[in-house]
């Protein structure tokens, strides 16, 4: 790893470890922004904006928009990422008691790889709705210790385990919490209340995720790889926040961190909801919004598929991104990525100015293609958009891998884009 990249990587690893859920990811981003002097605005209140001041606002705990207010709003440079990752979430009535054990029923969120969740120390984190005199308050909780496991079945009892056996998420993914006799009483709200130092009666509802306890770490003979849970897409969230904080002179820059990208983005906090447009209208003070929109640019940042040396045939021969070789421009003829020839040209010029190498990814014609918030944002707002990302292995695994140097290269490119002339 380049020694110059170490402070940035340490900051990113701290962010990853502090963000086991989308709501924690937003809370940590907000903490960093406030520490850097950004002013938090209540979305429900009236805003009085001052030029050359930095602001942010949060919606429903899981989405955040931050920006530096210019003197005159002529256009915005918008950096977008998403806070959610495929995972396993606790069901509303999760307690299962059978065969001497207490288990939690889990529901799959997004397109998760199932196998990596087995045989790991798992903890629980999320948000809890607390009843409060006719209203409901939201509080975050994180157990921060191993509380369960999803054990594999021994190969002696499953001779087809290495022969492509399918995993049934309904029957095979409930998590073991503890031993339990038939007369033992377990209630999940009581378990949560004990962790939060409140009463079970105060808890109205909850959204709780299981997560692997493994901390983010550097690996490889030369520590050239970063391994962590939730790299897709918290790596991008961390980089965009770093870039916005560092660009103190870049008024007109916006960061949007949406939730629910992994499940379609249709929500109040998703890219297919009204959050970004409503904020852009509020901060485009005394400006012709349609003219501002036409001069704006969205940079959607979401990780890309690095070529796996054991499965190189899964990539198109001319589009095989390598880890630690720079940001990846993502293209798709069917607009699953939002990159166009025009936005590709803009990003290539910015990369040349920043002395940052670019790579390119497009899927094989016989394989499906994932998508990002890019096409959704472009479609909702009519703003020119490009899709970028850092190359990674094991996308949607409980443990993913990216290049340790790519974050530094991406942040250099993002910083260059914050200096974009808006004409």
Query: pLDDT per position in the chain (423 positions), as tens?
Result: 788 889 999 999 999 999 999 999 999 999 999 999 999 999 999 999 999 999 999 999 999 999 999 999 999 999 999 999 999 999 999 999 999 999 999 999 999 999 999 999 999 999 999 988 878 999 999 999 999 999 999 999 998 889 888 999 999 999 999 999 877 888 999 999 999 999 999 999 999 999 999 999 999 999 999 999 999 999 999 999 999 999 988 889 999 999 999 999 999 999 999 999 999 999 998 899 999 999 999 999 999 999 999 999 999 999 999 999 999 999 999 999 999 999 999 999 999 999 999 999 999 999 988 889 999 999 999 999 999 999 999 999 999 999 999 999 999 999 999 988 775
Give yes or no: residues 278 and 409 share one domain: yes
Structural domains in the chain (count): 2
Identify the CATH number of the domain in which residue 119 sits. Answer: 2.30.250.10
Q: Does residue 222 lie within any of the structural domains? A: no
Give yes or no: residues 297 and 402 share one domain: yes
Give yes or no: residues 245 and 379 share one domain: yes
Domain that holds residue 18: 3-85+229-418
**Other C-beta atoms lying within 10 Å of the C-beta of residue 172:** 14
What is each CA distance from 299 to 221, 228, 254, 418, in whole angstroms?
A: 33, 24, 10, 11
Give yes or no: residues 81 and 92 share one domain: no
Identify the CATH number of the domain in which residue 255 sits. Answer: 3.40.630.10
- Pairing label, strands 175-179, 39-41: unpaired
Dihedral sign, CA of 153, 156, 160, 164? positive
Placement of tokens 């397109």 in the chain: 111
Sheet containing 328-330: order of strands = 39-41, 54-59, 63-68, 253-258, 77-82, 297-301, 384-389, 328-330, 359-361
Give yes or no: residues 121 and 93 share one domain: yes
Q: Does residue 217 lie within any of the structural domains? A: no
Q: Does residue 221 lie within any of the structural domains? A: no
- Cα separation of 244 and 140, whole Å? 25
Helices (H), 271-405: 275-283, 289-294, 341-354, 373-381
Give yes or no: residues 369 and 409 share one domain: yes
Give yes or no: residues 301 and 375 share one domain: yes
Give yes or no: residues 307 and 393 share one domain: yes
**Other C-beta atoms lying within 10 Å of the C-beta of residue 281:** 14
Give yes or no: residues 186 and 72 share one domain: no
Give yes or no: residues 292 and 402 share one domain: yes
Q: Does residue 385 lie within any of the structural domains? A: yes
Give yes or no: residues 161 and 310 share one domain: no
CB 415 within 8 A of CB 245: no
Give yes or no: residues 63 and 94 share one domain: no
Contacts of 233 (CB under 8 A, 6+ apart): 81, 82, 83, 84, 85, 261, 301, 302, 303
Nearest to 309 by CA among 301, 321, 318, 298: 321
- Cα separation of 143 and 147, whole Å? 8
């Amino acid at each position: 790893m380049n020694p110059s990249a170490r402070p940035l990587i340490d900051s990113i690893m701290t962010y990853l470890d502090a963000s086991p859920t989308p709501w924690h990811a937003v809370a940590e981003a907000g903490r960093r922004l406030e520490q850097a002097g950004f002013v938090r605005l209540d979305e429900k209140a009236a805003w009085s904006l001052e030029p050359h001041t930095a602001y942010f606002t949060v919606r429903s705990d899981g989405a955040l928009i931050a920006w530096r207010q210019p003197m005159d709003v002529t256009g915005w440079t918008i950096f977008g990422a998403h806070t959610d990752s495929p995972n396993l979430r606790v069901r509303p009535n999760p307690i299962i008691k059978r065969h001497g054990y207490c288990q939690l029923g889990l529901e799959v969120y997004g397109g998760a790889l199932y196998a990596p969740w087995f045989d790991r120390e798992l903890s629980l984190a999320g948000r809890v709705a607390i009843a409060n005199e006719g209203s409901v308050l939201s509080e975050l909780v994180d157990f921060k210790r191993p509380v369960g496991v999803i054990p594999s079945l021994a190969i002696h009892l499953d001779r087809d385990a290495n022969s492509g056996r399918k995993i049934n998420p309904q029957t095979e993914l409930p998590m073991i919490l503890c031993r339990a006799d038939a007369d033992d009483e377990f209630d999940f709200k009581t378990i949560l209340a004990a962790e939060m130092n409140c009463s079970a009666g105060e808890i109205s509802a909850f959204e709780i995720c299981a997560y692997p306890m493994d901390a983010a770490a550097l690996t490889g003979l030369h520590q050239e790889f970063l391994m962590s849970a939730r790299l897709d897409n918290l790596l991008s969230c961390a980089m965009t926040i770093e870039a916005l904080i560092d660009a103190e002179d870049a008024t007109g820059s916006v960061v949007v961190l949406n939730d629910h990208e992994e499940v379609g983005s249709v929500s109040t906090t998703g890219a297919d909801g009204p959050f970004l447009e409503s904020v852009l209208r509020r901060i485009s003070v005394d400006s012709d919004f349609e003219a501002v929109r036409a001069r704006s640019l969205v940079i959607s940042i979401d990780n890309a598929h690095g070529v796996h040396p054991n499965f190189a045939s899964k990539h198109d021969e001319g589009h095989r991104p390598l880890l630690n070789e720079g940001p990846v421009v993502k293209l798709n003829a069917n607009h699953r990525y939002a990159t166009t020839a025009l936005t590709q040209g803009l990003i290539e010029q910015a990369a040349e100015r920043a002395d940052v190498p670019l790579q390119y990814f497009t899927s094989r014609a016989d394989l499906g293609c994932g998508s990002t918030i890019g096409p959704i944002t472009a479609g909702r707002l009519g703003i020119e958009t490009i899709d970028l990302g850092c190359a990674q292995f094991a996308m949607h695994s409980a443990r993913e891998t990216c290049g340790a140097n790519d974050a530094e290269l991406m942040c250099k490119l993002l910083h260059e884009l914050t200096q974009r002339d808006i004409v």
